[in-house]
Amino acid sequence: MAFSRRLRALGSLNRLKSSFAAQSAPPPKALRELPEPFNASSISSPSRRLLFAGGLAGSLALGSGVVLCKERKDKAAKKEKEPEVKQLAPGFKEGEKVIAFADVQKHDSIDKGIWVTYRDGVYDITKFVQNHPGGLERILKAAGGQIDPFWAMYAQHNVASVKDILGEYRIGHLSADEYANLPPPFDPYQTDPKRDPELVVQAAKPFNAETPLRVLAEQEYLTPTDKFFVRNHLPVPSGSLIDPSTYALEIVKGEEEDPVKLTLKDLQDETRFKRKKICAIIQCSGNRREDQNSVAQVEGLTWYTGAISCAEWEGVALKDVLDSVGVPSTLGMESELEGEDDQLHLQMEGMDRPKVGEWRDTKGFYGASIPLAWAQDPRRDVLLAFKMNGEPIPADHGAPLRCVVPGVAGARSVKWLSKLIVAEEESQSHWQQNDYKAFCSSITWDTADFSSLPAIQDMPVNSAISWPPAKSLVELTSDGCVEMKGWAWSGGGRGISRVEVSADGHNWTGAELSRPPGQSLTRTWAWTQWQANLPIPEELRKPGKGVKLMVKAADAQYNVQPESIESVWNIRGVLCNGWHRILVTIKPKAVSRTRFEHGYAN
């Protein structure tokens, strides 16, 4: 196979060019069989939107025998409450049929029709399954049952537009008595870890929360672990799955070779692998999405400026691990292979996947990939990390092992890492193929084709104001300035060259920069903290006057932030890096200190 020939060529060239005997192992001859990629553009727009909002192909279809009961308490005893119960689920129509759950259970195949319930609503989704991206096998798990626990797995299902799509398939409802007597639900998030109450929660299930604005303003370089922002797509793995004593990382080089397994003890053995520490940012590509919502509504979690944090990660270099199992290096081989090595990827699989009761989806795991050349480049500093800020990585952040890919969208730093696969193609997971891509502003959900764009990797230059808070009262200094603090960062290892602040968008003041120690401008993975005393124009200094503060940054290659949010707006709400602006009010002298005007930090 072509892939095998390329790996053989790489191995041969490396042996000729290097004296490292460890590189002489025979390369894999073939890849393991991978599922055929799904083309999201091939289905109808409503179905495509539902696919995306579910967060994973197949989420609509899953479920059997359980249903949410949170809102059903005492409803059966009160006949007058029945209309309210029926309206819990989307698509209710006056005069619709009351359908027995036993009748729903009979409709569990294409021949009989596929019926499901959501809360008390009954839906015939037979026509929808023809376009179901997860395939018939998955959707049959929902046939004749309830989808509630699986919809609960994805916060995106709470979006009104998604419920409207489901409502189109409504054919009736369960009686109040039958709905009240259904068994209690399985909560796929019941084993999730406890979290710090100061985190700014944007979604409870799956749990997603920002670093508090106070912490962003007060910290230097490292974010305290308990205040580090959390981005989860699925329930947090628990129990034996993340037990350090039984954990093993599987590395797949080809179907004709047995996979290599390395335990956590193997990876921590300093006689085999040299320990390495890096101070690096993890940032969700949707950070600052709320700024895009101010232009027009986008899909995704309502992130403000706190979907970014910095930690010291400790582990072993991914390059060293790949070398140890005989994966040939792709570095420096572009001319010999005519660029074909760019087509090689390192796929990563996490242990987080949909689950209900004892059932776990074997195909719905979180997955991502990066170019294999990046994984093998020592200057990229890709790490298999087992410590975070000096302690074992906690469950929310990927215990016991996380692949940290500095300078790249956080989606590629796979948590709860279970498998590495050398492959000819990118990961075929939903999150690599049908998410985390930035369309131009004219593209709508009707015209979006995720297959037309590459997955987000290196992140653009960005900055934000952490102090003062938005919508706060601020006191001017004796010389008419506002004290400001914030962060700036750029992906790809590009350090920050300058940060400027302004109150009118015309007159700019340079900020004082605190760059991360020990990191060069061409290999910077941590953020730069900045502070400034911004002179406020005389005409804006009146007490009670609203002032718009703004910040912009340039990186070491002089990439700059665009002025407008409109210029970077996209339906997914990713890569928002227009100038960050906040509105504050000049404090009357009678007020003694700065205070928040709202109940949330960001």
Give the containing element (helix H, strand E) for 83: helix 82-86
Task: Of 5-19, 87-101, 291-305, 347-361, give the lowest mean pLDDT range.
Answer: 5-19
**φ, ψ at 324 (rounded to 5°):** -65, -25
Report the candidate in 228, 224, 216, 222 with the shortest Cα–Cα distance to residue 279: 222
Tell me which of 43 and 473 has the higher pLDDT. Answer: 473
In angstroms, the CA 580 to CA 464 distance is 6
From the candidates 279, 284, 310, 403, give the one annotated as an active-site residue: 284
Whole-number pLDDT of residue 101: 96
Active site residue 118: no
Place of tokens 């909560």: 187
Whole-number pLDDT of residue 522: 96
CATH class for the domain made up of 40-181: alpha beta
CB within 8 A of 252, min separation 6: which ones? 32, 259, 419, 420, 421, 422
DSSP state of 15: H
* Other Cβ atoms within 10 Å of 112 Cβ, number: 12
CB within 8 A of 562, min separation 6: which ones? 568, 577, 578, 579
Whole-number pLDDT of residue 342: 56
Identity of the amino acid at 145: G
**φ, ψ at 448 (rounded to 5°):** -70, 130
From the candidates 170, 173, 231, 345, give the one annotated as an active-site residue: 231
Banded model confidence at residue 126, pLDDT cuts 50, 70, 90? very high
Check: pTM over 0.85? Answer yes or no: no
DSSP state of 523: S
Tens digits of residue pLDDT in 307-318: 999 999 999 999
> Rg for the chain (alpha carbons), in Å?
26
CB within 8 A of 431, min separation 6: which ones? 233, 366, 367, 368, 411
Whole-number pLDDT of residue 444: 95
Tell me which of 156 and 476 has the higher pLDDT. Answer: 476
From the candidates 123, 436, 494, 498, give the one annotated as an active-site residue: 436
CATH class for the domain made up of 462-586: mainly beta
Give the containing element (helix H, strand E) for 404: strand 402-404
Whole-number pLDDT of residue 165: 85
CB within 8 A of 423, min separation 6: which ones? 31, 34, 344, 345, 346, 347, 369
Report the candidate in 456, 450, 453 with the shortest Cα–Cα distance to residue 412: 456
Banded model confidence at residue 87, pLDDT cuts 50, 70, 90? low
Average pLDDT over residues 460-466: 99
Banded model confidence at residue 333, pLDDT cuts 50, 70, 90? low
Report the candidate in 382, 383, 386 with the shortest Cα–Cα distance to residue 397: 386
With contact defined as beta carbons under 8 Å apart, do 207 and 187 qualify? no
From the candidates 49, 157, 233, 345, give the one annotated as an active-site residue: 157
In angstroms, the CA 16 to CA 28 distance is 19
Task: Give pairs for 195-204: CB < 8 Å, separation 24+.
Answer: 195/226, 195/230, 195/396, 196/226, 196/227, 198/227, 199/227, 199/229, 199/230, 200/304, 200/306, 200/600, 200/601, 200/602, 202/301, 202/302, 202/303, 203/155, 203/301, 204/155
Report the candidate in 470, 314, 459 with the shortest Cα–Cα distance to residue 390: 314
From the candidates 132, 170, 289, 430, give the one annotated as an active-site residue: 132
Q: Is 309 helix (H, G, I), strand (E, B) or coil?
A: strand
Active site residue 436: yes
DSSP state of 28: P
Active site residue 157: yes
Q: What is the mean pLDDT of the chain?
A: 84
Whole-number pLDDT of residue 83: 45
Whole-number pLDDT of residue 2: 52
Whole-number pLDDT of residue 86: 57
Asked whether the predicted pLDDT for residue 1 surpasses 70, the reply is no
Tell me which of 1 and 70 has the higher pLDDT. Answer: 1
Q: Give, in order, the Cα–Cα distances in Å from 41 to each of 47, 162, 450.
A: 10, 18, 7
The string over 359-395, giving b where at least 16 C-beta atoms fall within 10 Å of a residue's C-beta and e elsewhere, is ebbebbbbbbbbbbbbbbbeebbbbbbbbbbeeebbb
In angstroms, the CA 502 to CA 104 distance is 62
Whole-number pLDDT of residue 343: 80
Active site residue 233: no
Which tokens belong to 428?
């075929």
Tens digits of residue pLDDT in 134-186: 566 777 778 899 888 777 776 667 778 778 888 999 999 999 999 999 887 78
Asked whether the predicted pLDDT for residue 544 surpasses 70, the reply is yes
Q: Where are the domains of the chain?
A: 40-181, 462-586
Cross-sheet strand order for the sheet of 580-586: 473-474, 580-586, 546-555, 496-502, 508-510
Tens digits of residue pLDDT in 180-231: 998 877 888 999 999 999 999 999 999 999 999 999 999 989 999 999 999 9
Q: Is 76 helix (H, G, I), strand (E, B) or coil?
A: coil
Asked whether the predicted pLDDT for residue 383 surpasses 70, the reply is yes
- Measure the CA angle with vertex 475, ends 212 and 546; round to 5°: 85
In angstroms, the CA 293 to CA 300 distance is 10
Whole-number pLDDT of residue 57: 38
Active site residue 576: no
Q: Is 418 helix (H, G, I), strand (E, B) or coil?
A: strand
**Phi-psi category of residue 11: left, alpha or beta, with phi > 0 → left and psi -120 to 50 → alpha:** alpha
Report the candidate in 425, 473, 477, 469 with the shortest Cα–Cα distance to residue 451: 425
